[in-house]
Structure 1
Amino acid sequence: MENQKVFCISCFLKPYRIFKDKFPLLSFISFRLITMLVILFILGWALFALMALAPGDIVDQMMQQQLMSQTENGGGSGRDSIFSEEQLAKMREEMGLDKPFTIQYFRWLNRVLVHHDLGVSLISKAPVSFLIKSRIVNSLVLNLISLVFITIFSFLLGVYFSSKAGTKVDLAATFFALFFHAFPGILLLILLQLFASVTSLFPVTAYPDFPASENPLKFIFSYSYHIFLPLFASFLGGIGGTMRMIRSTMLDQMGMPYIMALRSRGISEKRVYLNHAFRNTLNPYITGSANLLASLFSGSLVLEIIFSYPGIGRLMYDAVMQQDVNLVLANNMFISALVLLGMTISDILLAIVDPRIRYGKN
């Protein structure tokens, strides 16, 4: 029996090794995509488990809202005056909440994968896919703009200050980078909002009060004006660590023997910096950019709440507070898929840039 198992495993591994040897990059990409799907599957199951462990459910939330509404209107109070135990049990059965969380998860997977249906919000009764589509674009625009600005200025400043290592300018830049990197993001957002409120130079909300379809050109200018302070806070929080990483990587490269060899051949310092040392800073940045994007998405939750920005983070916060299972799960899975996809893309870019990765062990 053991010989048969070993034979079956070897039958599977042999084609895989042949495929890996002939197509190393494609094999690397396939392995990363499969790993991403497995992680998403486990993450979804864990989310269902956490929601099941949370006290109460959406039916209890609805009952409490009805009780509060009846009390405010001067009606009687008491659980039996609104819902009976049979009615509550029937509501849980209709929503599928009477089943174990594992069964609920596989039912949700079947609905998503087979029918391409994310369900409806248990509170607003609107389709979950519509709610996510209406918010995800705003969060993507905000975080991608932050990532682009952080990337551009991190490379410019990191390369510049690496050439000024040890000078007063470099020490001052390092101090401010560490200061803003360690400064609490939520406190920075609150201070900026107070600044906007006191000075009236900027709006206290981060989104225009009219739709883009009304006047697209006016909306772009208004959006840029509204988003400036939140974007500035995100930029200050992200540039410190990234700039210091690029600066330290450049300094490490400038001390390598191949740099000394290039200088001994009379190659200009500009070419040494930009054509040789700079290219070798891409690997650590590509690896760190996925983590940076993940931190931007996680940080945008607080940003969207404080500045009333209609993004996916604020939608998820409202869904968690209301225990809207369908919306919470879809939000978390969607954001997790974006983060994992970013990490997978960074791994693929690393494999393209550095052949040693794709020819190495997965």
Structure 2
Amino acid sequence: MAMLRFAVFRFFTMLATLLVVSVLIFIIINLPPGDYLSNQINELRATGQSSGVAKAEFLRQEYALDRPLWQQYLIWMGFAPGPHGFSGLIQGEFGWSFEFDRPVAELVGGALWLTVLVNLAAIMFVYMVALPLGVLAAARAKTWVDYTSAFLGYIGLATPNFLLALILFYYGNRYLDLPIGGLMDPRFEGEPMSFEKMKSVLIHLIIPTFVIGTSGAAAMMQRLRANLLDELGKPYVETARAKGMSETRMLVKYPLRVAFNPFVADIGTLLPAMVSGSVLVSVVLGLQTIGPVLLTALKSQDLFLSAFVLMFVALLTLIGTLISDLLLALLDPRIRFGGRSS
């Protein structure tokens, strides 16, 4: 029951936080003077294109951009009726992209699941590489195993992602016949999911997963090694050894569980950090994720598109934080729900 109460409390806290974040996103996006339509109107007036000005003014009224900022926010969220009644985010209406002249939902629909897929694959790569190497480096400290893993970690941290992408872009295609660019063969774009399409996606995921996950895996490996070495030097470890407990069982049962806590907590920030950090890699590798879309939307001040993408990243952050909090509560019995034991 305590776990259920904690989960419900964290869920509603997440919703409240998301509401506050939505306000901040909307305010920050509107901080620069003007917007896409205002800039377009100024350009059209400067060139004397009155018909284009009329169309842009119509769109401003159509999407309530001629109203005060607080009203625009309420209409965008769906808390207040706009020109078309209640049609905001909570009703599933994401707005219109003026830059691409398409509905936001249609524009980002495919990119969203590809973004999540790429970054989930990268996170799996991070944990699958960092955890065994970090534990092995700590357990075999000051040996060739430790020095080799440290050397690999430093290379991973020092190599820029875009440079690694360019290197693998060339050599992966030349020597391993890996596909160049994109997340699937062009013939599968717009087609329903099938075994052949999924196979194409998985093959195309190899290079992006390695590129995006390398620096994260290197950093996590170094932190896990340091935390585990710190735990292995504590008195309770010597006590367990003195009682005859095997090294492997002692390592897994006590110090590893404690040292692993920060990496469970990292789930809340790892996914959105990879989404935002993979924008340049997505451009270099030609990935159909939301990174390049967000970059274009921010440059052109495309209000609804950029606001939705930022809300999506914020949602990923909060969902990741919720998952990490629940896993921490299960992993570490010292954690008290609500700050007190039940």
- TM normalised by structure 1 equals 0.80
C-alpha contact 2:290 2:309 (8 A) present in aligned 1: yes
User: Considering only aligned residues, what root-mean-square deviation do their CA atoms show, in Å?
Assistant: 2.9
Distance change in 2, residues 1:88/1:174 (3 Å): same
2:289 to 305, 311, 316: 311
1:87 and 1:121 mapped to 2: Cα distance? 15
C-alpha contact 2:282 2:291 (8 A) present in aligned 1: yes
2:176 and 2:242 mapped to 1: Cα distance? 58
Distance change in 2, residues 1:276/1:52 (3 Å): closer
2:82 is matched with which residue?
none
1:146 and 1:289 mapped to 2: Cα distance? 12
2:78 paired with 1:102? no
1:329 is matched with which residue?
307
C-alpha contact 1:174 1:244 (8 A) present in aligned 2: yes
2:18 and 2:193 mapped to 1: Cα distance? 40
1:231 to partner: Cα distance: 1.5
Distance change in 2, residues 1:232/1:85 (3 Å): closer
1:122 is matched with which residue?
98
Task: Specify the code of the residue in structure 1 equivalent to 2:266.
Answer: G
Task: Specify the code of the residue in structure 2 equivalent to 1:275.
Answer: K
2:179 paired with 1:211? no
2:192 and 2:70 mapped to 1: Cα distance? 46
Moved more, 310-319 or 234-243: 310-319
2:291 and 2:13 mapped to 1: Cα distance? 26
Q: Where do 1:47-196 residues align within 5 Å?
A: 47-60=25-38, 62=40, 79-83=47-51, 88-110=56-78, 111-112=87-88, 115-195=91-171
Q: Deviations over 1:206-248 (max 9, x none)?
A: 3221217478333333333322222211221111111112222
C-alpha contact 2:134 2:222 (8 A) present in aligned 1: yes
1:320 and 1:178 mapped to 2: Cα distance? 33
C-alpha contact 1:120 1:128 (8 A) present in aligned 2: yes
Unaligned runs of 5+ in 2: 79-86
2:325 to 347, 350, 358: 347
1:130 and 1:88 mapped to 2: Cα distance? 21
Equivalent pairs, count: 330
2:265 paired with 1:287? yes
1:116 and 1:351 mapped to 2: Cα distance? 33
1:132 to partner: Cα distance: 2.9
Task: Specify the code of the residue in structure 2 equivalent to 1:211.
Answer: F
Distance change in 2, residues 1:194/1:113 (3 Å): closer
Q: Deviations over 1:237-279 (max 9, x none)?
A: 1111111122222222222222212211212212122333323
Q: Deviations over 1:300-332 (max 9, x none)?
A: 222221111111222222322332211111111
| Structure ID, larger Rg | 1
1:299 to 253, 262, 277: 277
Q: Where do 1:12-51 residues align within 5 Å?
A: 24-51=2-29
Q: Secondary structure at the match of 1:97?
A: coil
Distance change in 2, residues 1:182/1:37 (3 Å): farther
1:130 and 1:273 mapped to 2: Cα distance? 50
Distance change in 2, residues 1:353/1:324 (3 Å): same
2:96 and 2:271 mapped to 1: Cα distance? 29
Q: Secondary structure at the match of 1:118?
A: coil
2:335 is matched with which residue?
357
1:266 and 1:310 mapped to 2: Cα distance? 55
- TM normalised by structure 2 equals 0.84
Task: Specify the code of the residue in structure 1 equivalent to 2:49.
Answer: S
2:143 and 2:257 mapped to 1: Cα distance? 24
- Percent same amino acid at aligned positions? 28
Unaligned runs of 5+ in 1: 1-22, 68-76
Distance change in 2, residues 1:331/1:349 (3 Å): same
Q: Deviations over 1:270-290 (max 9, x none)?
A: 212233332333312101232
Task: Specify the code of the residue in structure 2 equivalent to 1:333.
Answer: M
Task: Specify the code of the residue in structure 2 equivalent to 1:210.
Answer: R
Task: Specify the code of the residue in structure 2 equivalent to 1:233.
Answer: V
Q: Deviations over 1:95-136 (max 9, x none)?
A: 322222222111111233663322233344433233333211
